[in-house]
Amino acid sequence: MEINGVEIEDTFAEGFPIKIARVLITAISQRWAVSAAQEATGFGTSVIGCPAEAGIECIVPADQTPDGRPGVYIQICNMGYKNLEMSLLNRIGQCVLTAPTTAVFNGLPEAEKQFDTGKKLGYFGDGHQCDIDLKGRTMCKIPLMEGDFLTEHFFGAVDGIAGGNFYIEAQNQAAALTAAEVAVDEIAKRKGTITPFPGGVVASGSKVGSKYKFLKASTNASFCPSLREDGTCTLPEEVSSVYEIVINGVSREVIEEAMKAGIEAACTVPGVLRISAGNFGGKLGPHHFHLHKILQ
């Protein structure tokens, strides 16, 4: 299969189950909503070494938020609900409540699993907090020096998928990075997914395990162009740079849509030679995203 002359390898990306919470942050302006979202999703690239995976899902206009202000949806992901609940409490409490003019709302109100994170955050009010109704949503109002912080009582979480991915293989680093940027920009137009790595792009694609027993993961040596001389690298001779796009999402369907959109966007960039994906023969997780099937 080819798209715009770019080979699509007949392979699959391998994802694994993860728990996902979705939070809407609003503020007086998009600047402050985005600033809070960036803080709340920091140090959240991979559960290999971070306390959670997290990222900005999308920016939403004021006419699509409960309080009529600009908003940003974020996702926070963890391997278990207990750790996810703690991540929610810490990240909202330390990074959103502290940000000017912000408020937070439940991004998954229909989810069966609900955490009383907002109610717990209310204790910061030291007894001065109170409950109010905002368009049918039960909110906790916490007095702050700048005014009042509003948080919805509950935040929903679902069984999601982490690790949807594709590799962009190109003639040079500039082409590979440009393709990665346009792919991430296209994915960001869709709701339900995040690309949790810096700028949505992974420079250090990894494999499970290492020759060193104390490491959970190590560099994906077969995709490292500088290891071509000793035969470790299996990339085609003309490929000199590879970037990976990793996608987490609330469902299989939204990840497939994001992968398709990102791959098609990457294939418009001159110098991109092949699209591949990362898997471990099915040993990492049960969710397999076959590139040819997604792109048909």
Domains of the chain: 2-14+160-295 (3.30.70.520), 19-158 (3.30.70.520)
Amino acid at 8: I
Q: Tell me, what's the pLDDT at 273?
A: 98
Taking only the tens place, the pLDDT of each residue in 12-21 is 999 999 999 9
Average pLDDT, the chain: 97
Measuring CA to CA, which residue among 85, 84, 87, 57 is closest to residue 71?
57
pLDDT at 256: 98
pLDDT at 167: 98
Q: What is the DSSP track for 117-173?
A: HHHHHGGGGTT--EEEEETTEEEEEEE-SSSEEEEES-EEEEEEEEEEEEEEEESSH
Distance of CA 145 to the CA centre of its chain: 32
Residue 63 pLDDT level (bands cut at 50, 70, 90)? very high
Band of the pLDDT at 211, cuts 50, 70, 90? very high
Q: How far is CA 194 from CA 15, 41, 50, 230, 254, in A?
A: 14, 11, 16, 36, 10
Q: List pLDDT tens digits, range 100-121.
A: 999 999 999 999 999 999 999 9
> Which residue has better confidence, 67 or 229?
67
* pTM for the predicted model, two decimal places: 0.95
pLDDT of amino acid 282 = 87
Whether the pLDDT of residue 175 is over 90: the answer is: yes
